[in-house]
Amino acid sequence: MDGALPAPADVLPHRPPFLFVDELVSVDPGRSADGRWHLTGDEAFFTGHFPGRPTLPGVLMVEALAQLGAVAVLLEPRYAGKLPLFGGIDGVRFRRQVVPGETLDLRVEMGRLSSRAGKGHGRATVGEQLACEVDLLFVIVDG
Q: Which residues have a catalytic role annotated?
A: 49
Q: 3-class DSSP state for residue 24?
A: strand
- Find, among 38, 139, 105, 120, the residue nearest to 72 by Cα: 120
| Closest listed residue to residue 59, CA positions, set 136, 5, 115 | 136
Phi, psi of 62 (to 5 degrees): -65, -45
